[in-house]
Amino acid sequence: MAHEEAPASASQRIIVRNIGLMLSGDLEKPVLDADSILIEDGIIRAVGRAADMPPPEKDDRVIDADGCAVCPGLIDNHMHPVAGDWTPRQNQIGWMESCVHGGVTTLISAGEAHYPNRPRDVVGVKALAIAAQRSFSGFRPLGMKIIAGAPVLEPGLTENDFKELADAGVTLVGEVGLGRIKDGPTGRMMIGWSRKYGMTSMTHTGGPSIPGSGRIGADVVLEVDADVVAHVNGGPTALPDDELRRICEEGTRALEIVHNGNLRSGLMVLELANERNELHRMLLGTDAPAGSGVQPLGILRTIAHLASLTDVAPELIFCFATGNVARVRNLADRGVIEPGRAADLVFLDAAEASAGDDVLDCLREGNLPGIGMVMIDGVVRTGRSRNTPPARRVPK
């Protein structure tokens, strides 16, 4: 698709045809027997075969996928925003928009921990969380959706503070352990309060990541019992294998593998989850921005690493960054290709010169696929990605 072509609008009815492979984002049925999608008002209205779709009308837009694959927009379960599309961590501007070129259509904050001189008193913690939630709820770089406002837990917070945050629209709690709350009993009490008011939570796992954070081991992770074991493969320093095994076997919460962590530990956790038939617990994130930088292709790279170095099928691994995240984070409006969900779609294919026949073979070989188009809420946001290698086939 040429960049100068007028993009589809959210109000325009769109028919996507000739999809070669449709990855649903749903672990129960990761590949759909379908080649067409009907989109109206930015929402998926029907999924099926071309013969089952209504004939195009005069004002409809028809997109020919040319046999490439389509998957739900990727959801990065772990990032640290600060102010707009700028990060003081690396003094970099435009990193969020660049992530759209990596197929990421939603970012979820794990805490605004990189905010310069981040407030640590109760009033400041709440003020920063509410301000971030308000700011990012309407900030859409290249159409991306950003869920922010994740308070970092500090001493003095009460149940009423969590109610006040939830009433203000805050839906997240940042990583337990980034602030001064690092013990199991206090962390568990506060996470219980947040859960009561509908907020989802995370706990730091592994060694210290930034000044002020601390080592959070298996005992604290299991006692805090947050909804997500953040960077179970370390952020960036992983726990010893015996502690990781305890978290996997004794806990029931989601297990997050991040790009900016220990790959060996991530592979071990995924293989253990696969053996235990617990792939529903697996989530993916980047943990960016971080000391290792910003990775616009971090989610795709993690999918390629896991698909090429384990026996888990790549179509299942895609679910870790789509439907699994949507379920754990209570995002019923995205993450899966099915009627009623937002038309957040990534059109991708095997990279030129990659071995294999399609995008799944490309990933099994450990190669990054190419992105030919990204759509958010039914609006075409990019043509060929400026960051991935060129895809063999792109939509027309």
Lowest-confidence pick of 11-15, 164-168, 169-173, 278-282? 11-15
**pLDDT band, residue 381 (cuts 50/70/90):** very high
The CA dihedral of 373, 377, 379, 381, to the nearest 10 degrees, is -50
Domain ranges of the chain: 14-72+334-382, 74-328
CATH, domain range 74-328: 3.20.20.140
Please report, to the nearest 10 degrees, the dihedral formed by the alpha carbons of residues 214, 220, 224, 228 taken in order: 70
Identify the band that residue 1 occupies on the pLDDT scale cut at 50, 70 and 90: very low
Which tokens go with 7? Answer: 């993009």
Strand ranges of the sheet holding 200-203, from the earlier edge strand across to the other edge: 172-176, 200-203, 228-229, 254-258, 282-285
Q: Please compute the mean of the pLDDT values over residues 313-323 and round it to a whole number.
A: 98
Is residue 80 pLDDT above 50, yes or no? yes
Give tens-digit pLDDT for 258-285. Answer: 999 999 999 999 999 999 999 999 999 9
Mean pLDDT over 73-101 rounds to 96
Question: Residue 147 region, left (φ>0) first, then alpha (ψ -120 to 50), else beta?
Answer: beta
Compute the average pLDDT of residues 158-179.
Answer: 97
| Ramachandran sector of residue 205 (left: φ over 0; alpha: ψ -120 to 50; beta: rest) | beta
Mean pLDDT of the chain: 95
Residues 3-57: pLDDT tens digits? 334 455 667 899 999 999 999 999 999 999 999 999 999 999 999 999 988 888 8
* Omega of the bond leading into 289 within 30 degrees of 0 (cis): yes
What is the predicted pLDDT for the residue at 8?
53
Fold designation for 14-72+334-382? Urease, subunit C; domain 1 (2.30.40)
Alpha-carbon distance 159 to 176, whole Å? Answer: 16
| Short-list 22, 27, 41, 21, CA closest to 343 | 41
Q: What is the spatial distance between Cα 284 and Cα 318, in angstroms, rounded to a whole number?
A: 9
Backbone angles phi, psi at 108, to 5 degrees: -120, 125
